[in-house]
Chains A and B, each alone.
Chain A
Amino acid sequence: MKNFAESPRAWIIASLFAIMGIVLVARLFNLQVIEEKYELMANDQAIYRKIIYPARGAIVDRNGKPMLYNNVTFDLMVTPSLVGKYNSMDTATFCQILGLDTTSFSKEMTKVIKKTGKEKPGVFKAEISKELNARLQENMYLFAGFELVERSARSYPKAAGALMLGYLSEVTPAMLATDRFASYRQGDYVGMSGLENVYEEELRGTRGVQYLVRDVMNRPRDAYKDGTMDTAAIGGKELELYIDAELQAYGEKLMSGKMGSAVAIDPKTGGILAMVSAPSFDPNLLTGEAKGRNFAELSKMATKPLYNYATQGSYMPGSTFKPITGLVGLDVGAITPSFGYPCGGGYYACGKRIGCTHSGGGHAANLRVAMANSCNAYFVDVFRKVVDFKDYGGVHTGLQKWHDYMINFGFGHPLGVDITGELGGQIPDSSYFNRMYKGNWNSCNMAIIGMGQGEIALTPMQIANAMCLIANKGYYYTPHFVRKIGGDANHPKLAKYKEKHTPMHITADAYQAIIDGMEMVVTNGTGKVARLPGINVAGKTGTVENYAVVYGKKTKLDNHSVFVCFAPKEDPKIAIAVVVQNSGYGATWAGPVASLMMEKYLTDSVDVKRKALEDKMFNANLIKKYTYVIDSMQREKDRIRWELKMADKNMQAAMAKRGDTILVDRMMEKFYKIKK
C-alpha cells in the first residue's frame, strides 16, 4: 500500500480540487457579501409593498348627522414595465373582463405611460364597479403589473353642500410637484376643493404599508417577515361642522331655479350654518366612473354651478350696505341717530339726481326712519359727510379713513373662510379714484357708494359677516365651517377662528342705533316679509341695479334682490345674507328666502301660513334667458382669445423651429416678409 504523500501527482490533483473550492468560495463571497445589488434585486422582485389606504375622515354636521358616507372603491393600477415581464399577458381575457377592445387597451396603456412613465404605477381605470372588481380579483394573478388599489370614495345622502364639501380626485402631476403633496403617489386621491382640500391633512389619515412576498407569477403569497415591518393605517379624523344639514338642504331647495347665494352664520361663533350657492348640484355627480364627464358638463353650463356664488361672487350690496354707511357715520361723528335729511324724492347736491323711491315728508327724519324707508338720499348724504368729514381735512384722507373701516369690517379681502377659492370683493381707495379720475375727484364722484352702488363689491359671505358684526354689537369671528377636528375643538388648525375681531372699537350705542333701524325695516319698513311671530328680527332689503355689456352696449339687467337679517335681535343666533340675481326687489325674493331659512333654523319648522310663500320660492324659476346669451358670448370671446393666444404660441414655436423647416421659411417670406 502506497502512501498519499509519496505521489506528487496526487498532491497536484488534490490542490486543483482545493483551488477550485477556493475560487468558488471567493465567488460566493463576492456575490453574497460584497455585492449588495442582488439583495436589492431580490427584494425588488419578491417583495411587494402594498399601501393600505385608511378610511378617510367623516364629515358630520352640527347635530352629528353625516354629511357624507365613505364607500370603498377600487382603482385598477398598472405598472407598464411589469406587464408581461413574468408571464405573457393574456390581453384578450383582460379586455374581455373590462369590456375593452385591444386598440383601446393599448391606447389606455400609452396614456398611463405618458402620464407616469413605465416604472411607476398609474391609474388604468379609476373607480371601477363592484362587479368588475369581483371578477378582476379572481383573475388578477394572470395580469402581472396590474393591481387593484382600494380607495375611499364619498357618497352624499343629502345631495347638498357640494361646493363647501368639495370633491376627491386623483392627484395631478402639477400638485405632486408642490411641497404639500410631495409625499403622494400618482393615483392617490386628494381633496380637490372645499373642505376636502383645506382639511386634507386631517381627513386623509396615515397610510399603512404592508409588505408581501409575491411569487414569480406576481401573486402575493405571504406576509414578509411575518408582517413585523408592516405599519397599520390610521383612519382620518372626523370633521364636525357648524353646518346644519337640514338648513343647508332647505336653503338649496329654496334657491333652486335661481342664481345667487344664501349664507347663514351663527354670530356668536362665526360658524357657518348654511352656505348655499345657486344653482347647486348633487355632489354625488363628482364621484364614481362618470366623474370626469359630469365635471365637464357642469363646467359647460351657463349658470356656472361649479362657481361658488357665496365666496366668489362679487355683488354691489345695494341698500343692504346702508347699515354700514350709517354705522361709519355714527362712529366718525358725522351724524347722530337723530340726524335727518329733507329728502324730496332724490338727492341733488351733486348735480345729477340720485333717485329715491319715497318722496313723502319725514321719511328720512332720523336714522331709524331713513333705514326703514331705505332712503337713498339720506345715506348718500351720510357717506359724503363721512369722507368729507372736517377732522380728516380732505376727501383723500377721508376716503382712506372710510377704507380702513371697510377693511376692518372684512371687506375688500378674502375673510379666510376654510374652503378653497374665496375671493375678496372690492373696496376702492383714493389711489383707485386717482387712477380713475386722474387725481381730480371729490365725494360726489362716488357718492352712491353710500347706498351700496358704484365701485364697491362684496361677497355674500362678507355681507353675512358684516351682519354678524352688527348683531354682536362690535365683534365677529372669521366665518368658518369646522367646529371640531377629531373631536378636538382646540385643534391648532382652528386657532385662527378663535380670534375675536373688534373692528375700530365702535361703541355699542352706535350699533344699537343701527339695529333699531334694521328692526324697524322689518316691523314697519321695506322688509315686512321677514317678520316672525314672537321673534324680533332685524333686517335690511336691497335692490341692486346692475349692468352687463350685451352686444357691445351697456345694458341694464333686472335688479339683484338682496336681503340681510339677523335674529333674535336681543340675543342673535343667526345672521343671513341672501342674493338672488336679476330677480327684482329685495323683499320679493331674497327676503322670503332669508326669512324662511331663519324660521326653519330658529323654530325647526315653517309656519303653515307661510306654506304658500315656501312653495312659491321652491317653484320659482328666476334664471333669465339673457344669462345664457351673456354666457355664450363670454365663451365665444374666451374661445377667440384662446385661439389667438394659441395661434401666437404656435407662431412662436414655429419661429423657434424655423431653422429646421423650409416650409416655415417660405411661409415667413410670404406672410411676414421675413427673409432668412
Chain B
Amino acid sequence: MAQHRKSVLGRLDWLTVLLVFLLVGTGIMAVYTSEYTSFSEPFFDMQRSHMKQLMFFGISCFIGLVIIFTDSKLFFSLANLSYLFGILLLLVTFVVGGEVKGSHSFIKLGSFTFQPGEACKIFTALCLARFLAAADTKFNTLRHRLIAAGIVLLPCLLIILQNETGLALVYFAFFFPMYREGLPNSILLIGITSVVLFLSSLLVERLPLFIAITVVALLSVWVLWRQIQKQKAVILFIVGAWLIAVTFSQLIVPYVFKNVFKGYQVERIYSMLGQDVPLEFQKPGQLAGKDADYNVRQSKIAIGSGGLTGKGIMNGTQTKYSFVPEQHTDFVFCGIGEQFGFIGSTLLVLLYLALMLRILFIAERQRSTFSRVYAYSVASILFFHFAINLSMTMGLAPVIGITLPMLSYGGTSLMSFSILLAIMLRLDADRHILIR
C-alpha cells in the first residue's frame, strides 16, 4: 500500500477533477458565446457573466483546496451537526427569506443571495451517509428505512413549502444510495415505472403507448419464464402490473384530463412540457393549438435548429439574440445544442455520463460505508440535475427550475457542486481508511 505515503494531492482522483474542469470550461464558454455580440467588447470585463463565472470558479477551486487539506474524519463527525444546521437554515429562510420569482427559498446577505436548499443537499448527503454507516443501523428493518427516508424527506418537505419544487425533487436522488444499501428492488421499479408512465401518457399517443406497455409485459413474461413455471404468482403479478399500467395510461389520465382538470390546468401541464394541448383534451371555448410555453418552445427551436453539426461557435442566432430566456442558467444547454449540434450535444452527454460513472466507480472502491453512501449521493444528485435539466430543455419533462451542474451560470450552484465533489474526493483520498 504505497499510496498511504503519498501526499493527499497525489492520492486525489485526477480523472474526476479533469472531467469537472472540462464541464466548467464548457459552461463558461456557453455563457460567453451566448452573450457574445462582437469582438469589440472587452473580454476581461468583470460585469460580464463569463467573467463572473470565472471568478466563481476561482472561489470554488479555493474552497475545494481547503476541503482537500482538511481531515477526512472531520466530515463524518460534523455530518449530523451540519444536517441540523441545514434544517435550521431552511427554517430561518421562512422568516427572513426573500422572494425570487415566486419562491421563498433565498436568504439575502447584502448583494449575495444564498439558497439554503442548495447547501442542504450536502448536509443531507453527509447525514444519510453517517446514518447508514453507523454500526447499530440495520437497514433491513422498516424502522431504520423510515428514519433514512425521514432524513431525506424533511428538507425536501421544507423546500416544497418554500415553493421550490424543482430543488425538492432532487432530494429523491437519495433513494439511489438507499437502494444501493438494501432498499427492495420493487421500490426503485415502481418509482421509475410511474414516472415513465406518467410522462409517456402525456407525450405519447394512446395506441402506441398501449402497444409499448403490452410489449414490455410480454417481454417480461419471456424473460421470467422459468420463474413463472416455478411460481404461478409471478404471472399474476405481471398481468396485474400490465392492467394497472394500461388502466392508468388509457383510462385514468384521459378521464382526469377531460373531466376533472380545468382547461387552464391541462394547458399548464402541457405547456410545461412545451407541447400544444392535444385536440381531445381541449375544452370548448378554449383556443385550439394555443402556443405552448414560450421557454420550452424557444429552447426546442434553439436546440433543434443546431442540426447535426451545429451552426458553429458564436453563430447561434437563437441564443445570441436572446430568443431563449434564462439561457445562462437553466437553459444553458441550448447554446451548446445550437452551436455544436447533435455531435457536440452528444459529447456533452457522454462527458456527464463519464463523470457520473466514474463517481459510481469511486463509490464502489470505498472501504467505509460512509464514503460509499456519500459518493452514491453525489452521483445521484448529479444524475437528477443532469436528467431533469436536459429533459426539460428538450421538452421531455416539465419545466422546473433546476440547474445543469457545472455548466449553468450562478455562484451558488457551482460552489455547492464543488463542495459536494471536493468532499467526495477528500474521502476517496482516504478510501483505505475506515471512516467512522
A→B interface (CB under 8 Å): 1-4, 7, 9-10, 12-14, 16-18, 20-21, 23-25, 27-29, 31-33, 35, 37-39, 41-43, 45-47, 213-217, 221, 224
Contact = CB atoms under 8 A, between A and B. Distances in A.
Nearest to A7: B364
Contact of B317 (A12, A21, A47): A47
7 tightest A-B contacts by CB? A38-B304, A42-B305, A215-B321, A46-B317, A32-B342, A4-B364, A31-B304
Given A42-B301, A43-B305, A2 B342 contact: no
A563 to B, nearest CB: 70
10 contacts: A1-B365, A2-B365, A7-B180, A13-B176, A24-B396, A27-B394, A28-B342, A29-B342, A35-B304, A46-B321
A9 B176 CA distance: 10
Interface of A, secondary structure class, is helix
Interface of B: 37, 176, 179-180, 188, 192, 300-308, 317-318, 320-323, 337-338, 341-342, 345-346, 349-350, 352-353, 356-357, 360-361, 363-367, 376, 379-380, 383, 386-387, 390-391, 394, 396, 431-432
Contacts of B356: 17
Contacts of B432: 1
Contacts, number: 130
Contact of B353 (A3, A17, A217): A17
Nearest to A37: B304
Nearest to A213: B317
Given A3-B364, A216-B322, A21 B353 contact: yes
B301 to A, nearest CB: 5
A4 B303 contact: no
> Chain A CB within 10 Å — which of B307, B364, B380 has the most?
B364
Contact of A221 (B188, B321, B342, B386): B321
B345 A21 contact: no
A345 B367 CA distance: 142
A16 B379 CA distance: 12
Contacts of A33: 307-308, 342
A32 B337 contact: yes
Contact of A39 (B176, B305, B390, B396): B305
Given A17-B357, A21-B349, A221-B37, A32 B304 contact: yes
Contact of A9 (B180, B380, B390, B391): B180
Contacts of B380: 13
A3 B366 CA distance: 9
A21 B179 CA distance: 20
A129 to B, nearest CB: 32
B354 to A, nearest CB: 10
A28 B394 contact: yes
A216 B307 CA distance: 21
B180 A18 contact: no
Nearest to B345: A28
Contacts of B350: 21
Contacts of A16: 192
Nearest to B291: A85
A24 B333 CA distance: 12
A46 B311 CA distance: 13
Contacts of B180: 7, 9-10, 13
A14 B360 contact: yes
Given A38-B303, A39-B305, 15 more contacts: A4-B360, A9-B179, A9-B180, A13-B376, A14-B360, A17-B360, A18-B353, A21-B349, A24-B396, A29-B342, A41-B301, A41-B305, A46-B317, A46-B323, A216-B321
A9 B380 CA distance: 14
A32 B323 contact: no
A24 B365 contact: no
A223 to B, nearest CB: 12
A42 B307 CA distance: 11
B37 A4 contact: no
A214 B37 CA distance: 12
A533 to B, nearest CB: 76
A315 B305 CA distance: 69
Interface centre among A2, A16, A42, A45 (most CB of B within 10 A): A42
Nearest to B312: A225
Given A4-B361, A32-B341, A38-B304, A25 B349 contact: yes
A613 to B, nearest CB: 72
Nearest to B353: A21
B179 A42 contact: no
Contact of B318 (A1, A2, A17, A42): A42
Contacts of B365: 1-4
A21 B396 CA distance: 13
A213 B321 contact: yes
Nearest to A224: B317
Given A3-B364, A28-B337, A31-B304, A214 B345 contact: no
Nearest to A14: B360
B192 to A, nearest CB: 7
Contacts of A221: 37, 321
B307 A39 contact: yes
Contact of A31 (B323, B367, B394): B394
Contact of B323 (A2, A7, A9, A45): A45
A670 to B, nearest CB: 42
Q: Which of B192, B300, B317, B390: most chain A Cβ within 10 A?
A: B317
B323 A216 contact: yes
A39 B37 contact: no
Given A21-B349, A27-B396, A28-B349, A39 B304 contact: yes
A45 B318 contact: yes
Contact of B357 (A3, A14, A31): A14
B219 to A, nearest CB: 15
A14 B366 CA distance: 17
A24 B390 contact: yes
